[in-house]
Structures are given as C-alpha cells and as structure tokens.
A and B are shown apart, each in its own frame.
Chain A
Amino acid sequence: MSCGSRRPTSNARRWRVGVDTGGTFTDLVATDGSELRVAKVLSTPPDYERGVLDAIQSAHVEIPEIDVLAHGTTVATNAVIVRGGAKAALLTTSGFRDVLELRRHNRGELYDLLWDPPKPVVRRRDRFEIRERVDYTGSVLQPLETADVEEAVERATNRGSESFAVVFLHSYTNADHEHQARAIIERLRPDAYVYCSSDLLREPGEFERTSTVAINAYLGPIVARYLEALRGALADAKFGGQLFVMHSGGGLLTAETAVRVPARLVASGPAAGAMAVEREFSSNALARSPAAEEDGAANVISVDIGGTSADIAVIREGSARMVNEFSAEFGSPIRFPAVDLTSIGAGGGSIASVDAGGLPSVGPRSAGANPGPAAYGRGGTEPCVTDANVVLGRLSEDTPLAGGGVVLHTDLATEAVARFADRAHLDLNDAALGIIEIANGNMARAIRLVTVERGLDPRTFSLVAFGGAGGLHAAELAERLEMSRVLIPIAPGVTSALGCLYVDIAHDAAEAYLKPLAECRPDDLMRIFDRLATHVSALLDLDDVAAEARELEYFLDLRYLGQRRALTLPLRPGDLDDGFADRARNQFLRQYELQFHYAATDIPIEIATLRARGRNIADHDVSLAGVATRLDDSTASSSLPSVRSVVTKHGPTEATIHDRQDLRPTTSVSGPAIVREYDSTTWIPPGWKANVDDVGNLVLERLDVESGQHETEPPSMNEEAP
C-alpha cells in the first residue's frame, strides 16, 4: 500500500528508494525529489528479496524508474545470531589454529562462573594448519607448503565447506602466502568464497583479524546468495539503477563490494535507523531534553521496536556514537567501524511463555513474519506482544497494520493470550498487561545499560521511538525510565528505510608512515596523500560518483614514539608547508592534553598513518519535514469510530481515536488515546498528552512532570482534540 499520491507514472520519473528489511516487515521510502512515498509489507524469509519487490510494488514505484536503491538488510545479522551462517573453513599458520577460539581470553562477566564465551563460528575440526611463516617485517621464514593447502581444501570440501577464510601471521605486511593460498583454493574450488585477511584488514593483532575474516567467510555465501537473488529479481523487473547496501558504519556499499565485506552488514538496518534519527533530530529543539541545558544539540535515545528486536542507540550532542569494532556478541569482534548499537530480542512478535515454575517471560524467541503473532491469522498460535496489544484494545481489527497489509484478528489474539493466562494463573487482561510490562521492562533494562551504566541519566534525554511497534510502547517505556518526552517521527514504521536514503557512499584508504614528525618531509607526505586520493577516487569512479559530487578528506595519525594507538587529526592539503611539523606538533599536544589529561614535551612524536576518505556529497533533501500535508490527501479517515474500549493498568476505560494527519501543532490529545497512521500506531496512556511539532513529529509529554530540575515549559496547547 502506498500512501503517496497516486498520479500516473507515464512521464518517466527518477526515484531514489530506501528499503529496510527486518525480521518481520520490509519498509520502504521512495522520493523523486518532489514526492515521497512510504510502504510497509511483510518480510518473506528465507527469500527476503521477494519482500523488497513487494514493497516497491506496494508503493507503486516503477522499477525501471529507480535510479538508486539503498538497502538495509537483516540477512547477515540473523545468520550470526542464530548461528545460521555458511559452513566455513579457516586456514591458519601452523601452530595457530586456536587463535579464533582462544580469543583475547578476557571474559564478558569477570566473576560469573556460569558465563560462557561464544562458540567460535568455525569449529576446531574445520580449522586447518598450513606450514608457512612470515616475520613482522614481511620476510619469509618458511615458504608456503602448497601441499598443506591442497590437503586442507580437500578435507574441508569433504566436510562440506563452501567458503574459506585465510589468516596467516603478519600477512598485513606481506600478503604473498595468503594470496598463493587463495589461488590454490580458487583453482580447486572455483565455486567457493575466499576471504584473505590481507585484503580485509591490514593491521597487526591476529585474533581481531581472524575473527573479522572468519565472520566474513561465515556470512559470505549467505549474503552473496541473497544479493544475487535480489539482483536477479530486480533485473527481471528491468531494474537499471544502482543497488547499494547499508553497512554497520552508517554508510553505503555497492552490492559488489558488500559480498567482499559481508561482515560489514551485521548491523545494517539498525545503523540506518540511528542515522535517520541523527539527521532528523540533531538540530530539533524538542530533542533537547527538558532537563538538559538550554543550548546544545540533541541528546536522544533512539529505540527502534520492530517485530523481532529492539535496537537502541544513544545520540549525544547530535551525534551517534561510533566504535571501531562491532560485535554481534561479546568475543566475536568485527574490526570495521560501526555505529554503537545495542539490540535485544523484544518486539511485536516476541513470544510470551510460562516456565515450569510458573514464571512468565517474553522473548527473545519471536514468531517473526511467518507465522507471526496469532492475531495475524497466518497460523500462529503462540501469544505475542502484538496479541497482548490487541487484547488491550491498543491495536484493533479496524486498524490494519502495515498500511492494510495485515488484518488483525481479535478472536485469535484473545485465544492465544487466554492460553498464556491459564498457565500463568491470571485473568485475560492482567495477562495481556503483564506481557506488555515484561517486554517494556526488558527494553528499559537495555536502555539503562547504555545510559545509566555509562553514567548517563536517561532523564536528560528525549526518547525517539520508531519501528512498527515503537509508538505502542514508547510512553510506558519512558515512564519506566522517568523520561518525560517522547518523539515519534513521521512515518515511524519506515524510519530505517529513510536512513538508507540519508547516507553517503564513502571509501577509506590508509598507509602506514612510521617516521618521527620532526624528521618528516612535507613533499613525502604529499606524495602519499596523492596516492591515497587516487585510490579512493578510483573506488568512487566504480560507484559512478560524479566529480562535482565528491569530497576528499585527509587525516594524520600522530602518537608518541613507542605508543601503540594514535590520535587522528584532520589535515588540509595546504597545511603541508614548511611550518607544518611545528603546527602539527602543537595541535597534537593540545588535543592530547585535552583528551588524556597530560602531555609530555620530552617524548618524540611519530607520524603513524596517513589517511584519506572520499565520499559523495549526495543530495539529501529527503527530509520528512513538511511531508505531513502531502500524506493528507491520500489517507481516508472520516469513517472511523472516535472512541474504543481499552484496558490500562487502572482497568478498562475508553480511549479517543485520532488520525495522525488530523493533528496540528495547535491540537493536543490527552491520554488514554490512540493515534493511528499508515505504518504505525501510537498509544498515549493516561497521564500523557500529545501534539505535533511544526515539522510533523508527534510529541508526547507527561502531564505529571515533577517540579525542580525536570520542570519544563509545556509546548503551546490551545485546544483539546475533538
């Protein structure tokens, strides 16, 4: 279903389309520069590509008219979490096949004797030792025994391996042996996927490199098969545009590159959601918490509640936190830059169950899209969070989900929740309330982990909730965290898809230098920077980024001689004159003291690495601000009942029903109330009120905000809703 205007598409239009595939729904945002359309359809596991095409079709976008398709996908994430990756083999230097399993030895829980490290993605039996050795300078100590590689390939093949990870010691300084091994594997197994550490991560540290490469091999066939299927399906529909995939760092990869670095997709969709929130809210005054200082950029906790999981990101002072390393779980690092995200198994499809001792729990098991919650009427019988929302009247048969794609069945939801109620010895309403409470409690704990446990007070943040189920849980979640303001963006069901449209293509290149700053020659540096620029430009050429749409940035990694990690400072090409070394030194010392609380002037400074980044400065004028009016004319509304029976913590009552496009900045709605829209429903509990801000965000505020430091000026609220 589309909710954009449905003009005929006879004269050729050019679309940019963002699609985010989650475990349950596939979301779409499309724009041609003047119009914006959204769509939400069910995901179609295991053939996720069908859902992508369904979404495009549902938005009435003609596939041949698409210029750019930017895609966030759950395929890689899912494979890691459920250990559903490919059968991979790992070839290591002789004597080191256990590097992957020994990890760095540290434990996620220092004192919990029952805590277990994660299972290695490649079992010991599938790790093969190859006689070869290179030292830290790249000199060969022992030539590669090609027979060892051949034997390993044969044995791995007998075991059914379809991908290979090759990680030899010090290959970051001499890649010959890895490349020789790759050639042998490719000769014997032309069908296999091969990942060499020297192609993926040229830095010392054998465990992090091995883990990164092994996860790539584990995911390669899965991601490749998926993208092939997607491209095939698109090609059949005469797709002539560019296909990009969102990576965990909040940037885009071409589909070709994605297969070469599949582990970069592990937080694909969630990163897109966080980027959308960062762009939309970093300068929004309402995203500054009422309890925060007057000035400054947004402090936002972003929570994306979908069908299977809730993904949480913290955006402080306008920026999402970035990390150099992303882990889908403790002890399995992927050493590629990523948005800092926390994910838990809590969503609309999370299944409620009762254990042998009578204790109820919710999730992490999910009914996903298929069969989905009982209310979907697709054969699911286990009670889910969505079913509880139906029983409580927060969702109902007259508000289909996903723009009409999923009709809800109250009777089926009630039956499922009733079975749970029996086992838990509760009445129906208490059971449904309990399911919501437990799910909200799980999410609140996860948010505490990334705020309170890092010394951040959630009360000084606003909560931005999105995803199909974001609006249903946001206010009560905020209550648990004593947060007083919640923002629901426009089209909250498709925020992650929107994020895909916001981001850039970016390529990075780096080269080690390792000489004292005092002795460096600006000419030398210039030559290296030129080389790096040529390298990233070639990659941008491959992506067809126009010359005028490019931006090149340069960076210098400096550190004290003898140190292991460096400070990265930006550099303009014009800086490389005679006074460069002195200026760089002063800048380093200033920055270093600021960050590390001391600075020594008696230790030489070393230039560790030179870096360049090239990106396209794309036209990001796809903000949803102001789109509300365009959505207006497409959604019929007037025939809806204006009140409905609902159940709150205080018992049964009546809630007023509103359509989001009817809300105006001057309108205020008091809870209990329900705000409906195309792709999401927002529950406004008693004690809360809602209005929209001038760009169309739904703003929920608590009525009983305490006095003192949490006091706030209520936004203008002149009239009560009808």
Chain B
Amino acid sequence: MSLRSDDPILFQVLTSSFTSIVDEMGALIQRVAFSLVVSEGRDYCGTICTRDGALVTSGTTDLPAHLGTHPYTVRGMLEWAGSEPEEYLRPGDIAIMNDAYIGGTHNHDVRVIMPVYFGSSIAAFVVNSSHWTDVGGHVPGTFDPSAKSSHGEGLIIPPCHLVKEGQINEELVGLILRNVRVSNETYGDMLAQIGAVRLAEQRLQELRQSYGEKVVLSAMTEVIAYSESLLRTEFERLPDGVWETEAFADSDPGIAGSPPVAMRMTLTIEGGRAIYDLSRSGPQAKGAINAPVSCTVSAALVATKCVFSHVPMNQGVFNAIEFRFPSEPSVVNAEYPAPISGMAAAVFPGIVNCVLNAYVHVVPERCMAGPTGLTNITWGGVDPRSDRNQDYVCYLWLEGGWGGRPAAKDNHTAMTLFATSATNQPVELHERTAPLIFDCYRLEPDSGGAGASRGSNGVTRRWHVSHGDAVLSCLGSGQIYGPWGFDGGKDAPPNRFVYAPDTEDETNIGMFVTGFEVAEDRVLEYRQAGGGGWGEPLTRPVEWVLEDVIDGYVTMDGALRDYGVVIVADGDKLHVDERATAERRLDRLRNA
C-alpha cells in the first residue's frame, strides 16, 4: 500500500506542503536578511532532507546550484559528528558549517541545519544555505584566484553548534564575526537563517499534528521514489547510445600560462540506465577553479532537471543517475585542501554545458544552445560617505544570455542557468549601500550568438567607485570560450572585463584577478556573454533581422556580417535592401 495510491489528494497536499514550507523559509530570509546579496539577490537555498540526508524537496524560489549539495551537507555533518543524529543534535539545536569538503559549495555558502524531532527521534532535517558577502581571507569578498588551498579562501567552519537547546552559542558567533568583514550584515543574515529553519521545523510539526507522523514520513519517502521512477521512465524512452561532450575553463589560475582545463562527460543511455561518466576530466587545478564532488553532482542535476523539467527535484533524481568520477583527484572531484572558491565560475557551468550538450543530441526539442556561465566580481574598502565610514564589500554575479532554441524560438533570458531564482541587486539599492555609481546596465548589441534562433543578448555593466579606493577580485572564466552554438548556429562572443575603458590606461584585467587596486572614479566595464545561436543564421527570416536591428539587439553591421542582411537607413526609418540581401545570402551559402 502506498499513500500515493490510497489517497492521491493527500499525497499531493503533503508534497506541496513540503515545497511550500521551503518557500516560506525563502520568503522569511528574503524579508529579514541584511545583506544585499541575500535579501535582494536571493542567493540562498532551503531544503528538507530525511534523517538520512536524502533530499525531499526544494522550493520554487531557491537557488538551484545549492540544492544538490544539501544531502552531502547533512551526511557530511553526521559523519563528522561520528555519533547517532539524536546524540549530536537535540531538539532546539541548530548546527552551522561551510566546509566544502564536508558537503558544500564554496566557503561563502554557509549552511545551518536543524533537526525535526517526531517524538524521541529525528524525522528530518531542515537546511538553509546562504551566500555570505565575505567570509574573511585576504581580499574583500574572499574570492581569490591566487589561493593555494582552501585555507586561503576564508574561514572554514566545520559542523558546530550554533544554537544549543534554543540558546545561541555566543562564543562561536563571536569567533565567526571576528573573522569576516561587514560583520553587522553577516550577523543579520545568520540570524535570518536561524529564523528560517525554526519556521520550517515548526511547520513540519504542524503537518505531523494534522496528518500524523506515519503519513508525513510516507509522503517524504514516496515522493523520492516517485521522482526516481518518473526519471527512469524518461530514460527508458530515450534511444540507447553514447554521447561524449566537453567544456573548458579558460586556464588554471594557479599556473602561469596554463592551457585550458577540461571537463569531460560521456553520457551513456542503456536500457533505461543513464550513466554520467566524468572520468576523463582534467586533473585537479592548482588555482581556485576546482569543485568537490558535491558541487559537480549538483551541477549535473540542475542541468538534467532542465531537460526533464516535470520531474520533481529530490533525491530520486540523484538515484536515477549513475555517476563515474576520475580515480585520482581532479577538477571535478577535488580533494582537501585544493582551493575551490571559483567552482561556480568554472566547473559548475562546465558540467551544466556537458550535460546540455549531450542531451541536445538526444532530445534536441527539449534543449537549447549554450548558455552563459557565471562570473564572481567582488570589491571593497572603506565607505567614507558622511554617515558611514565603515567597511563595505560588494559582490556582483553577472547575468548573460541563454542559447537559441529549436523551432526558431528566440531566447529572451538573461541569467545564469543554475541560478535562475537569483535576482539582480537593484542599482539604486547598491548605490545606497556602497560608494559606487553605475554608468550603465544594459543589453549588449550583437552579443547573442547568431542563428536561425538567436541566443539572447549578453549584459554590460559599467561602474566606478565614487568615494575612496577599493580592492577588487574576479573569479570567472569564459574569456576564451563563448557559449556554444548548435546546428549551424554561432558561438556567442566571450566575456570581457576592462579597467578604464576608452582611456590610455585601458587594461583588459581578465577573469582571474586578485587584489586589483581600483582608483576612485576609474571606470570598470564588464560584458557577460550572450547565449549561443541555434541553426544557420542565413536562414533567419529577413524581417526578424530587421526587427532586431530596429530594436538594437543587432547592429546594422551585425546584420550584414552575421545574417547577410543588408539594412539601409532612411532618416529615422530602416528598411531591408531585398535584392542586395538575396545576393549576399546566396553568395554566402554557395561559399559555405
């Protein structure tokens, strides 16, 4: 017997309640957190996990990148504790940790974990991870491509009791806050996380009171089995085959002049099994682009979920996929103490692209051409504006385009694929919080990969520090490789980060920058790539290209260069030179 077959409505009520509890956690965090990164940028994730650490549910507004790591967090914590869960965490206790090697992402993403007791035993754990603006280290914002080990990447917190029987562990909090910049906002964010897991714990207790312990626990395990069977059914419908893909990080920032670093995946579909074999990936990097297994798996799951979007995201998705890793430590299964803070700019998008690029050959109708990656830019200093004179740290993650799609469906998204719930930090709030002025924040013309279906445009930000000097770091990638085009579509132009553009000091500062000194009022310009194109650009309808040019998504030069469309201006009006266009397109097709 199962709850799902006996009372499908109740099953649905409960599984939806789990999701809604996580959404409530998210709403609370967003409402009361102090930092711009968390309250406006929504760089947080909540989950419910079983007492064994199996993922039960995520919310509808939580950061996809984090959630696949939460099972590792719970299991890593229990292993670290080395005792029965009930001995380690008592009712009312809350643990805190950020150690990437005990089940995390990078040290910024600090996790709090609370047990949910049904009677005398733990029924589940509620988890929240939030990105702290700064976790110490030698540069503001902590991102440091020059770090030689994870000890150079800020404070490492192994599992500790943040709250013991309802009382906050003041000494621990004091230790943590002494080790981070902007400790006021960090304290506020930490308290918000405590509030969030307490809320979720209370909501689960209410569910137990309404429906009984057994029913709630059944719903948790059954929803996992349900997802697994749904996904396995999907795999059964796919043709058997083997597909090999790869993606690259620009270089190993720990080795001068290093070649690109590869992430490689072999997707095998065989009689309803799916094997993700990453064992041909490049060796562990000396610089901070590595990922522990938890991150790599999380990235693969996010991308898989995009291809099979109707399958509820929980441990069942993990269970349906067989992972293979290199036998030696590598960039995708780094070992302590390899530096990892740039994983979200390197391995994460790399694995996402490997998975998408494999499935695009299997089920193209559900996929798209290459999406943009992620770049972490942080800077900080002292804010000398009249009422402040305190430390500040800014963290920008940059938004770029998504790939063109089948059936000539253009893309209009500007966001990182594995952070689709994250939001930008409003310019106005940023300028209130820190001494900076944005000069522009706009879609960049010609930045989408050309194609029958165009990749969406990338985004350009220009800004300058308005008061005082600042120290800037950048951990990105994608300066060499732009997002990939598919089926004749073109790659999008890559990322670009320039200091003092259009002056004689203009410098391309690249994607791996540590402690770069930024002078007051000198402009920084960052262009995050658009998405790759899908399908031969010369087949894009001429009138679509004209509309693109009228709107400025594509320039007149771009229309000619990428699409063979000749557009002429007549005052304010633009029109297509049909004849010249036909000739040019024919010529190009002949020469192709």
- Which A residues form the contact surface with B (CB < 8 A)? 94-99, 101-102, 104-107, 109-114, 116-117, 123-125, 133, 135-136, 141, 155, 158, 169-170, 172, 204-207, 448, 452-455, 457, 459, 482, 560, 562-565, 596-598, 600, 603
Q: Which residue from chain A places its CB closest to the CB of B196 in the assembled complex?
A: A597
- Which B residues form the contact surface with A (CB < 8 A)? 9, 12-13, 16-17, 19-21, 28, 31-34, 39-40, 42, 60-61, 64, 184-185, 187-188, 191-192, 194-196, 198-199, 202-203, 302, 305-307, 309, 313, 366-368, 399, 402, 405, 409, 412-415, 420-424, 426-429, 431-432, 437-443, 459, 462, 466, 550-553, 572
Bound complex: CA A606 to CA B415 (Å): 35
Q: Does B550 contact A125, Cβ atoms closer than 8 Å?
A: yes
Q: Does A105 contact B414, Cβ atoms closer than 8 Å?
A: yes
Q: Which residue from chain B places its CB closest to the CB of A563 in the assembled complex?
A: B34
Q: Does A106 contact B42, Cβ atoms closer than 8 Å?
A: yes
Bound complex: CA A546 to CA B191 (Å): 48
- 8 residue pairs of the A-B complex, CB under 8 angstroms, read A95-B462, A105-B413, A113-B307, A113-B309, A125-B551, A169-B428, A565-B39, A598-B198
Bound complex: CA A718 to CA B579 (Å): 86
Interface centre among A101, A105, A123, A448 (most CB of B within 10 A): A105
Known contacts A117-B412, A562-B188, A563-B188; is-contact A96 B427 (Cβ 8 Å): yes
**Interfacial chain A residues near B441, Cβ < 8 Å:** 95-96, 98-99, 102
Known contacts A125-B550, A598-B191, A603-B188; is-contact A563 B440 (Cβ 8 Å): no
**Interchain CB contact (< 8 A) of A114 among B305, B409, B438, B466:** B409
Q: Does A104 contact B412, Cβ atoms closer than 8 Å?
A: no
**Interchain CB contact (< 8 A) of A598 among B61, B194, B399, B415:** B194
**Interfacial chain B residues near A205, Cβ < 8 Å:** 426, 428-429
Bound complex: CA A459 to CA B9 (Å): 10
**Interchain CB contact (< 8 A) of B405 among A110, A114, A133:** A114
Q: Which residue from chain B places its CB closest to the CB of A170 in the assembled complex?
A: B428
Bound complex: CA A115 to CA B158 (Å): 40
Q: Does B194 contact A112, Cβ atoms closer than 8 Å?
A: no
Q: Which residue from chain B places its CB closest to the CB of A106 in the assembled complex?
A: B423
Q: Which residue from chain A places its CB closest to the CB of B311 in the assembled complex?
A: A111
Q: Which residue from chain A places its CB closest to the CB of B19 in the assembled complex?
A: A453
Bound complex: CA A596 to CA B21 (Å): 14
**Interfacial chain B residues near A158, Cβ < 8 Å:** 572
**Interfacial chain A residues near B550, Cβ < 8 Å:** 125
Bound complex: CA A482 to CA B10 (Å): 11
Bound complex: CA A641 to CA B95 (Å): 73
**Interfacial chain B residues near A124, Cβ < 8 Å:** 443, 551-553
Known contacts A95-B442, A135-B431; is-contact A596 B195 (Cβ 8 Å): yes
Known contacts A105-B424, A603-B187; is-contact A117 B413 (Cβ 8 Å): yes
Q: Does B423 contact A111, Cβ atoms closer than 8 Å?
A: no
Query: Closest approach, in angstroms, between the C-beta of B53 and any C-beta of chain A?
Result: 23
**Interfacial chain A residues near B368, Cβ < 8 Å:** 113
**Interfacial chain A residues near B306, Cβ < 8 Å:** 111-113
Bound complex: CA A464 to CA B420 (Å): 37
Q: Does A111 contact B305, Cβ atoms closer than 8 Å?
A: yes
Known contacts A114-B409, A205-B429; is-contact A600 B191 (Cβ 8 Å): yes
Known contacts A95-B442, A135-B437; is-contact A110 B427 (Cβ 8 Å): no
**Interfacial chain A residues near B17, Cβ < 8 Å:** 455
**Interchain CB contact (< 8 A) of A113 among B39, B405, B553:** B405
Query: Closest approach, in angstroms, between the C-beta of B410 and any C-beta of chain A?
Result: 9
Query: Closest approach, in angstroms, between the C-beta of B379 and any C-beta of chain A?
Result: 18
Since A598-B194, A598-B198 are in contact, a sample of 12 more A-B pairs with Cβ atoms closer than 8 Å, ordered by chain A residue number, is A96-B427, A99-B427, A101-B412, A101-B443, A105-B414, A107-B413, A125-B552, A563-B34, A564-B33, A564-B429, A596-B31, A596-B199
Query: Closest approach, in angstroms, between the C-beta of B578 and any C-beta of chain A?
Result: 21
Q: Does B420 contact A455, Cβ atoms closer than 8 Å?
A: no
Query: Closest approach, in angstroms, between the C-beta of B543 and any C-beta of chain A?
Result: 15
**Interchain CB contact (< 8 A) of A95 among B192, B405, B431, B439:** B439
**Interchain CB contact (< 8 A) of B16 among A102, A106, A453, A564:** A453
Query: Closest approach, in angstroms, between the C-beta of B292 and any C-beta of chain A?
Result: 23
Q: Does A111 contact B437, Cβ atoms closer than 8 Å?
A: no
**Interfacial chain B residues near A105, Cβ < 8 Å:** 399, 413-415, 422-424
Known contacts A124-B553, A206-B428; is-contact A454 B191 (Cβ 8 Å): no
**Interfacial chain B residues near A596, Cβ < 8 Å:** 28, 31-32, 192, 195, 199
Known contacts A95-B462, A106-B420; is-contact A455 B64 (Cβ 8 Å): no
Q: Does A452 contact B16, Cβ atoms closer than 8 Å?
A: yes
Bound complex: CA A204 to CA B198 (Å): 31
Q: Does A112 contact B309, Cβ atoms closer than 8 Å?
A: yes
Q: Which 8 A-B pairs have the closest CB atoms?
A: A95-B440, A455-B17, A597-B198, A104-B423, A455-B20, A124-B551, A204-B428, A597-B195
Bound complex: CA A94 to CA B305 (Å): 39
Bound complex: CA A172 to CA B191 (Å): 31
Query: Closest approach, in angstroms, between the C-beta of B528 and any C-beta of chain A?
Result: 11
**Interfacial chain B residues near A104, Cβ < 8 Å:** 423-424, 426
Query: Closest approach, in angstroms, between the C-beta of B58 and any C-beta of chain A?
Result: 9
Q: Which residue from chain A places its CB closest to the CB of B548 in the assembled complex?
A: A124
Query: Closest approach, in angstroms, between the C-beta of B355 and any C-beta of chain A?
Result: 12
**Interfacial chain B residues near A97, Cβ < 8 Å:** 442
Q: Does A155 contact B572, Cβ atoms closer than 8 Å?
A: yes
Query: Closest approach, in angstroms, between the C-beta of B46 and any C-beta of chain A?
Result: 13
Query: Closest approach, in angstroms, between the C-beta of B27 and any C-beta of chain A?
Result: 11
Q: Does A110 contact B551, Cβ atoms closer than 8 Å?
A: no
**Interfacial chain A residues near B420, Cβ < 8 Å:** 106-107, 110-111
Bound complex: CA A136 to CA B433 (Å): 9
Bound complex: CA A562 to CA B16 (Å): 34
**Interfacial chain B residues near A114, Cβ < 8 Å:** 366, 405, 409
Query: Closest approach, in angstroms, between the C-beta of A498 and any C-beta of chain B?
Result: 32
Query: Closest approach, in angstroms, between the C-beta of A414 and any C-beta of chain B?
Result: 36
Bound complex: CA A448 to CA B13 (Å): 9
Interface centre among A101, A110, A135, A136 (most CB of B within 10 A): A110
Bound complex: CA A136 to CA B399 (Å): 24
Known contacts A105-B414, A123-B551, A452-B12; is-contact A564 B405 (Cβ 8 Å): no
Query: Closest approach, in angstroms, between the C-beta of B498 and any C-beta of chain A?
Result: 16
Q: Does B34 contact A562, Cβ atoms closer than 8 Å?
A: yes
Bound complex: CA A315 to CA B367 (Å): 41
Q: Which residue from chain B places its CB closest to the CB of A592 in the assembled complex?
A: B32
Bound complex: CA A459 to CA B10 (Å): 10
Q: Does B21 contact A455, Cβ atoms closer than 8 Å?
A: yes
Q: Does B440 contact A96, Cβ atoms closer than 8 Å?
A: yes
**Interchain CB contact (< 8 A) of B367 among A99, A113, A206:** A113
**Interfacial chain A residues near B309, Cβ < 8 Å:** 109, 111-113
Q: Does A455 contact B16, Cβ atoms closer than 8 Å?
A: yes
**Interfacial chain A residues near B415, Cβ < 8 Å:** 105-107
Q: Does A454 contact B551, Cβ atoms closer than 8 Å?
A: no
Q: Does A455 contact B191, Cβ atoms closer than 8 Å?
A: no
**Interfacial chain A residues near B64, Cβ < 8 Å:** 110-111
Q: Which residue from chain A places its CB closest to the CB of B410 in the assembled complex?
A: A116
Query: Closest approach, in angstroms, between the C-beta of A333 and any C-beta of chain B?
Result: 12
Query: Closest approach, in angstroms, between the C-beta of B423 and any C-beta of chain A?
Result: 4
Bound complex: CA A112 to CA B417 (Å): 11
Bound complex: CA A485 to CA B136 (Å): 59
Bound complex: CA A135 to CA B435 (Å): 10
Q: Which residue from chain A places its CB closest to the CB of B7 in the assembled complex?
A: A482
**Interchain CB contact (< 8 A) of B421 among A106, A112, A116, A563:** A106
Q: Does A597 contact B194, Cβ atoms closer than 8 Å?
A: yes
Interface centre among A97, A111, A135, A600 (most CB of B within 10 A): A111
**Interfacial chain B residues near A95, Cβ < 8 Å:** 438-442, 462
Query: Closest approach, in angstroms, between the C-beta of B459 and any C-beta of chain A?
Result: 7
Known contacts A135-B437, A206-B428, A452-B13; is-contact A113 B195 (Cβ 8 Å): no
**Interfacial chain A residues near B367, Cβ < 8 Å:** 113
Query: Closest approach, in angstroms, between the C-beta of B351 and any C-beta of chain A?
Result: 16
Bound complex: CA A169 to CA B441 (Å): 12
Q: Does B13 contact A565, Cβ atoms closer than 8 Å?
A: no
Bound complex: CA A697 to CA B237 (Å): 53
**Interchain CB contact (< 8 A) of A562 among B28, B31, B184, B572:** B184
